Structure 1
Amino acid sequence: MISKILIANRGEIACRVIRTAKAMGIKTVAVYSDADANALHVREADEAVHIGPAPSNQSYIVIDRILDAIKQTGADAVHPGYGFLSENAAFAAALDKAGVIFIGPPVKAIEAMGDKITSKKLAQEAGVSTVPGHMGLIEDADEAVKIASSIGYPVMIKASAGGGGKGMRIAWNDTEAREGFKSSRNEAKASFGDDRIFIEKFVNQPRHIEIQVLGDQHGKVLYLGERECSIQRRNQKVIEEAPSPFIDEATRRAMGEQAVALAQAVGYYSAGTVEFIVDGDRNFYFLEMNTRLQVEHPVTELVTGIDLVKQMIRVASGEPLAFSQNDVKLNGWAIESRLYAEDPYRNFLPSIGRLSRYRPPKEGTRPDGTIIRNDTGVFEGGEISMYYDPMIAKLCTWGKDRAEAIDAMGDALDSFEVEGIGHNLPFLSAVMQNQRFRSGNLTTGFIAEEFPEGFASVEPDTETARKLAVIAVLAHHRVQTRATQISGTIGNHRRVVGNDWVVTLAKADHRISLTHAENNTSATFEDGTTLPIDTAWQPGQTLQMFTVGGQSMAVKIDLSPSAIRLRWRGMDISARVRTPRVAELARLMPEKLPPDTSKLLLCPMPGVVTSISVQQGDHVEAGQTLATVEAMKMENILRAERRGRVSKVAVSAGDSLAVDEVILEFE
């Protein structure tokens, strides 16, 4: 039996493994880089070993450093998590040579399935349907263009050793194929130390659906249902669910049996995932097999009741699976939302900094029977680094059906407080309210199609705007009332707070009169409409429940001298509450215009400049590449928005930049 596990990873997955290991009575060892010295996984493990500088290619993916940590601590097993060395056959082989148990599949399976080209050939031999594409390796960008043209656009350019959206690009023409090949190869080399690239046909209107498999060392392999992972941005999953709203029982069985056949063909054991692309007619094609635990494994755990990490540890110890295929039942519905450190209002560009506030919703079973689970690797006061993946947490909900799980997720997102960095909570909330998402009509193009201009704050409808205006009025009234109660004031000079107000919200004015009774407060609008409001909110609270017009709303409130900021269901509203006379005068004030930055190329995110593609004096055309910035293991190409001439190059390749630092100036 395993007695001590070293987790060769960081962040939330390291914390996830530690949680199950502790429940099984197994000691744990964390490893950490310079950037993670104060990380949550370091705090939660029984022991921790420093393994090098912040960049992962100098710490987390250096096999010798992990082996040295094993020797220092006497760990008899290693769990690799996902990413980093989790699908590195050389790492698994090194552990085997050192007599250390690898909590994962056998080396041969990793070699076969970890390489996308080899795995595709094996899938074909095992009778698994595959996507058309070029199976050989590609040497340079010119060859990539020729192959892409022969396959027919659009094509998917992929890193053979890739995963997690890294080293992947969709190309619709020769120019995009050339640039996509270069970026994919650079990302692959930086993330996996392997720059091999291949190309396959990109299927239009696809769904990304994957099958969870689990096998033991005695020849038994099972499938644990599917996960719908179609909500993606830049080829990286954002929202996942289990089961899929599209897959019927016959398709589930067919996909599951093919996944099992592929796993058995390579002698697979432990947890693994076979990914498929599915078209509108439920035809499915093999994409790849991930020989590790997936980021989105919690939704499978919630609907099957099976702890996958516990099963991985038991399988690695040589135990047979204690259940059969017939024992696997899908109960209810689960959804996972990935909370990323990225700014949705700036085209989801990475964000780094300190978490000045981090308050997840309470985990566990709610009064209505739904379940909230939050897998995380951060804490309030901790820092989000530019060196690693931007995921902060995985918020999961379970309900007896899909609608219940979605509604529970909406409530949980409203109750999640994150401050200090840019994050995608409002975007996730907006998706939960999107009617196309709620209907289950999903494809991997969902985000691009539903948010073609990027994400902006959700605009409230008339009814919602009125409810938010009432919340703003009550908040303002309570703040003003508290201000009149300061001790030491002269009684006959005490200011009286009125009840008639004008709320400017969502580009509209709302005239509201408050009425206070003994046990309730109500707000009346100019047209006579009255909405009762009830809340325990007091000034200083940043999140509170409000019941307005019979609707319960968990609203985040931020007070400033000039406005009240309200956030709810993806909305981010600034409300100004004034007396009628002040509101009348405010309409006469001139509008302050933002500074003109049209002649500047500003760095849109914190990152490192990897290349400058123009020089001072160059004439550029719209769409031309100007510079490339790397942040959180992703390359971001900055292009010209229109024609112009470069008057100054302000930075050089290798420079580290903050948000909005000037890269280029134009005449």
Structure 2
Amino acid sequence: MFDKILIANRGEIACRVIKTARRMGIKTVAIYSDADRHALHVKMADEAVHIGPPPAAQSYIDISRVMAAIRETGAQAVHPGYGFLSENPRFAAALEEAGVVFIGPPREAIEAMGDKITSKKIAAEAGVNTVPGYMGLIADAEEAVKISREIGYPVMIKASAGGGGKGMRIAWNDEEAREGFQSSKNEAAASFGDDRIFIEKFVTQPRHIEIQVLADGHGNVVYLGERECSIQRRNQKVIEEAPSPFLDEATRRAMGEQACALARAVGYRSAGTVEFIVDGERNFYFLEMNTRLQVEHPVTELITGIDLVEQMIRVAAGEKLPFSQEDITLTGWAIESRLYAEDPYRNFLPSTGRLTRYRPPAEVAAGPMADAGKWLDEAAPRGETAVRNDTGVYEGGEISIYYDPMIAKLCTWAPDRAGAIEAMRVALDAFEVEGIGHNIPFLSAVMDHPRFVKGDITTAFIAEEYPEGFQGVQLSEEALRRVAAAAAAMHRVAEIRRARISGRMDNHERHVGEDWVVEIDGHRWPVKIKADRQGSTVRFEDDGDYRVESDWTPGRTLAVLEVNGEPLVLKVNEIRGGGFRIRTRGAELKVFVRTPRAAELAALMPEKAPPDTSKMLLCPMPGLVVKIDVEVGQQVEEGQPLCTVEAMKMENILRAERRGVVAKIHAAPGDSLGVDEVIMEFE
């Protein structure tokens, strides 16, 4: 076994690998750029080596710099994580030449499966079902249009060397094919250094289901069930679960056997994933093989009890897999929610800045991972449901514009799917993130969505259910009443504290009144609060009683309560005027709790009108201006491209919302802009 390994990555995946290596007694080496000097993975590793400036091309994917770090530290093996150099055959070859073990598959397998055109040919020869498409090289946008017409719209335009949703576009007509071809080439060149593009038929109403495989160097190949990855946005996975609510055992076995056949065909060893598109009739088609550890690997670990990182390390060290296909069992259900630094209210555009507050829910061990003694946090208590958070950030840290916007992967496990969903709801409500835009409200909304709860999902779920973008969550009146009751009880506690501090009371029960008015989301409820040592009973004027029990104290930003015996978790900030800013179940609410007279006066106050920005194009995210498509005096039509802004490795084309004439342009290509900076004005 190795004494020391270097992790050629950053963020949460570097931290994840370090945890397993530490448990195995292996020393670790982190690498870091200027932007990551104080990153969590640097703090966790036994050693750390600086490798260059923030841009990944000058640090994390600069093979010469990584090789220098390996030589400097004497690392015997390298775990590449995912992304960056994880599927780069030149890196694998450089390690081989230096006598350093690559904790991943053979270079030949990376080359064969890393090229999507070649991989589809090999898959077909191995008896794996494939999607119709054009696998040859495409010269220009006009040829892309011609090929797209021959295949038949809609089509998927992809980077041959791509992954992670980068360099990928769906085209429904000629114009989108032209535009998508060029954007895909640009993103592919920037992300992978390879701008080759191919086109295939886009399967409508598809589900994205992938098979996890493990192979050793002794001829053993197994599959560890499947993961459902259909909740996607811009071809980027957002929520994953294992197993899939759609597959039956026969389909699972057929997909698993085909995945293993493909792994054998390329002489695979290590962990890998074979991705499939599955239609409504459970017909499945090969999409690609990822010759690395997947982002969503934790859900497979949670239902199998197998530490995939550990097995990768052991296979790389020459060991045999300690189990056969017959030994693999799937127990319970696991869900992963990817927490992104992005603003769901601004069409999920990236967000950067300092994490002024970062408090994940407490991890809890349960299920196969706990039973197998492989829970990654040894201090985690045991429970009936599991909570796991893979992260690479900490409170006070910075979210940079240079790297992927994912900041954590929150996972839950339970004996069944309904239990895993409920555990995720509670965990998301308890996850505190401040200082940046984040997608927790959207994740919470999905957990409560009837289609998701039913398992009726496709890769078009987000586009179909949120066609105008995410506008927040509207809670039912009953849910609002529960929040109102909780807020009233909490406000009473805060009033008691204020009265004691001010010296207004000897006996607080005598000085804090019982009659209050709660205003929330357009509702106005007079209530009466009766308190005792165990909690409060909040009686609504229309004869509804809510029993509220909690140990919440003023100043705490997380309130864990029971309302009529049911759990309610609220993120809480007190606001002026008597009340709270409350976030729960994806909703953000202002709740005012006032005396009847104060409520009467508040109703007379005018509301402040927001500033008019209707004639301005504002930068929707921190980013770099790549291109300006218009000039002063030019008339533009609705939907016309105005400029392109790059953020976190993705190009975003900003379009005109209505017809108009450009009056002023305030930005130029190469400018770095912040959120809401003015790019141009219109007459």
TM range (shorter): over 0.9
Is 1:486 matched with 2:537?
no
Alpha carbons 2:117, 2:136 under 8 Å: kept: yes
CA distance in 2, matches of 1:397, 1:525: 36
Q: Is the 8 A contact 1:460 1:506 kept in 2?
A: no
**Deviation digits for residues 408-440 of structure 1, max 9, x if unmatched?**
111111111111111111111111111110111
Q: Are 1:521 and 2:536 an aligned pair?
A: yes
Q: Deviations over 1:413-472 (max 9, x none)?
A: 111111111111111111111111011111001111112221122111111111111122
Residues 264 and 305 of structure 1: is their aligned pair in 2 closer, same or farther, counting only changes over 3 Å?
same
- Is the CA contact (8 Å cut-off) linking 2:499 and 2:505 kept in structure 1? no
Amino acid at match of 2:588: D
Where 1:485 maps in the other structure, the secondary structure is: helix
Match of 1:657 in 2: 673
1:385 aligns to 2:405 (yes or no): no
Q: Which amino acid is the alignment partner of residue 620 of structure 1?
A: V
What is the distance in 1 between the residues matched to 2:341 and 2:194?
26
1:89 has 2:89 as partner: yes
- Separation in 2 of the partners of 1:212 and 1:37? 34
Which residue of the partner structure matches residue 146 of structure 1?
A: 146
**TM-score, length of structure 2 as denominator length:** 0.96
Structure 1 unaligned spans of 5+: none
Question: Are the counterparts in 1 of residues 221 and 260 from structure 2 also a CA contact under 8 Å?
Answer: yes
Q: Name 1:554's counterpart in structure 2.
A: 569
1:6 lines up with 2:6 in the alignment: yes
Whole-Å separation in 2 of the counterparts to 1:141 and 1:489: 76
Deviation at 1:550, TM superposition (A): 2.0
| Residues 233-271 of structure 1 deviation map (CA, whole Å, 9 limit, x = unaligned) | 010000001110111111011101111111111111100
Contact 1:228 1:244 in 2 (8 A): yes
* TM-score relative to the length of structure 1: 0.98
- Tell me the residue number matched to 1:451: 466
Q: Which residue does 2:378 correspond to in 1?
A: none
Q: Which amino acid aligns with 1:561?
A: R
Structure 2 matches for 1:186-205, cutoff 5 A? 186-205=186-205
One-letter amino acid matched to 2:256: G
Alignment of 1:308 with 2:323, yes or no, is no
Unaligned runs of 5+ in 2: 367-381
Query: For 1:585, what is the secondary structure of its paired residue?
Result: helix
- Tell me the amino acid that sits aligned with residue 94 of structure 2: A
The match for 1:69 is 69
| Structure 2 CA distance for aligned equivalents of residues 126 and 4 of structure 1 | 37
Distance in 1, Cα, partners of 2:470 & 2:93: 45
- Report the residue type matching 1:541 in the other structure: R
Distance 2:339 2:210 in 1: 21
- Give the SS at the match of 1:161: coil
SS in 2 for 1:484: helix
- Aligned residue type for 1:460: L
CA distance in structure 2 between the aligned counterparts of 1:465 and 1:595, rounded to whole angstroms: 30
Supply the distance in 2 between the matched residues of 1:158 and 1:541 (Cα, whole angstroms). Answer: 48
Q: Distance in 2 between matches of 1:331 and 1:652?
A: 55
CA distance in 1: counterparts of 2:145 and 2:508, whole angstroms: 80
Q: Give the conservation status (yes or no) of the 8 Å contact 1:334–1:398.
A: yes
Aligned position for 1:268: 268
Residue aligning to 1:120: 120
SS for the counterpart of 1:646 is strand
- Equivalence for 1:471: 486
Q: Deviations over 1:497-538 (max 9, x none)?
A: 322111110111111111123443111111111111111111
CA contact (8 A) 1:533 1:549 kept: yes
Equivalent pairs counted in the alignment come to 667
Letter in 2 for 1:646: V
Whether 2:590 is the aligned partner of 1:574: answer: yes
What CA distance in whole angstroms lies between the structure 2 residues aligned with 1:338 and 1:519? 38
Q: Are residue 243 (structure 1) and residue 243 (structure 2) matched?
A: yes
Equivalent position of 1:437 in the other structure:
452
Counterpart selection for 1:637 from 653, 676, 680: 653
- In 2, Cα distance between the equivalents of 1:261 and 1:436? 34
Counterpart residue type for residue 379 of structure 1? Y
Cα distance between partner residues in 2 of 1:385 and 1:283: 41
Structure 1 stretch 579-588 or stretch 30-39: which is displaced more?
579-588
Q: Percent identity?
A: 70
Deviations along 1:119-141, one digit per CA (max 9) or x if unpaired, are: 00111111111111110111221
| Residue 567 of structure 1: how far off its partner (Å) | 1.1
Q: Cα offset for 1:355?
A: 0.8
Q: Let me know the Cα RMSD of the aligned residues.
A: 1.6
Give the Cα separation in 2 of the matches to 1:32 and 1:508. 51
Q: In structure 1, give the amino acid aligned to 2:665.
A: V
User: CA offset at residue 365 of structure 1?
Assistant: 2.9
CA distance in 2, matches of 1:352, 1:76: 36
CA–CA distance in structure 2, aligned partners of residues 72 and 320 of structure 1: 31
Alpha-carbon distance between aligned partners in 1 of 2:87 and 2:254, rounded to the nearest angstrom: 26
Residue pair 1:340, 1:423 contacting (<8 A) in 2 also: yes
SS in 2 for 1:645: strand
Q: Tell me how far 1:214 sits from its aligned partner.
A: 0.6
- The one-letter amino acid paired with 1:120 is K
Deviation at 1:165, TM superposition (A): 0.8
Change (3 A) 1:491 1:417: closer
Q: 2:434 aligns with which of 419, 428, 444?
A: 419
Asked whether the 8 Å contact 1:484–1:495 carries over to 2, the reply is: no
What do the CA deviations read for 1:371-428 (whole angstroms, capped 9, x no partner)? 1111110111111101000011111111111111111111111111111111111111
Q: Which residue matches 1:617?
A: 633
The one-character-per-residue Cα deviations of 1:314-370 (angstroms, maximum 9, x if unpaired) are: 111111112111111111111111011111111111111111111111112377511
Deviation, 1:272, is 0.4
1:254-310 C-alpha deviation (Å, 9 max, x unpaired): 101111111111111100000000000000000000000000001111111111111
Name the amino acid aligned to 1:154.
P
Question: Which of 570, 592, 614 does residue 598 from structure 1 map onto?
Answer: 614
1:490 Cα deviation from its structure 2 partner: 9.3
Q: Structure 1 92/592 Cα, relative in aligned 2: closer, same or farther at 3 Å?
A: same
Contact 2:126 2:262 in 1 (8 A): yes
CA distance in 2, matches of 1:561, 1:344: 27
Q: Is the 8 A contact 2:535 2:550 kept in 1?
A: no
Q: Which amino acid aligns with 2:516?
A: W
Match of 1:162, SS?
coil
Which deviates more, 524-533 or 435-444? Answer: 524-533
8 Å Cα contact 1:484-1:494 kept in structure 2: no
CA distance in 1, matches of 2:610, 2:178: 38
Which amino acid letter does the alignment assign opposite residue 639 of structure 1? R
Moved more, 161-170 or 570-579: 570-579
Q: Give the corresponding residue for 2:53.
A: 53
The more displaced of 123-132 and 139-148 is: 139-148
Change in 2 beyond 3 A, CA 1:495/1:33: farther
